[in-house]
Amino acid sequence: MNWLFVALGAAVGAPLRYLTDRAVQARHDSVFPWGTLAVNVVGSFVLGLLTGVTSAQAQLLLGTGLCGALTTYSTFSYETLKLYEGGAKGYAVLNVAGSLTAGLGAVWLGTEAAGLL
């Protein structure tokens, strides 16, 4: 039955990722993948926040399902490669450094916030 919690979370996370990515990217006239960065940072924060949740079902639903479908390492990797190959090497480096820094910062903030709850 655990798979159902994962599937339900993913059913929300995947469209949320797509819609958020498109909305964020539409606001920026740049080749930089702002939408992917946004969903990955938000997902990292939510996952950090979930560290305070003790329910296994909530972890499966929100952590594995929602955050797993919301965040995307494969798209991050692909977009970074395309930036590099397209000559936007500075953006490629910025994407890697910014994503790692913001993602780690967001998960840390999420765990800190969970500790306050």
Residues flagged as binding site for Na(+): 68, 71
Question: Max alpha carbon distance in the chain (Å)?
Answer: 48
Number of residues that this document lists for the chain: 117
Contact by Cβ (8 Å): 52, 24: no
| Separation between Cα atoms, residue 102 and residue 86, nearest integer Å | 24
How many Cα atoms are found within 13 Å in the side-chain-facing hemisphere of 45? 11
Residue ranges for the known binding site are 68, 71
Helix residue ranges per DSSP H, the chain: 2-26, 34-49, 56-58, 68-70, 73-85, 89-116
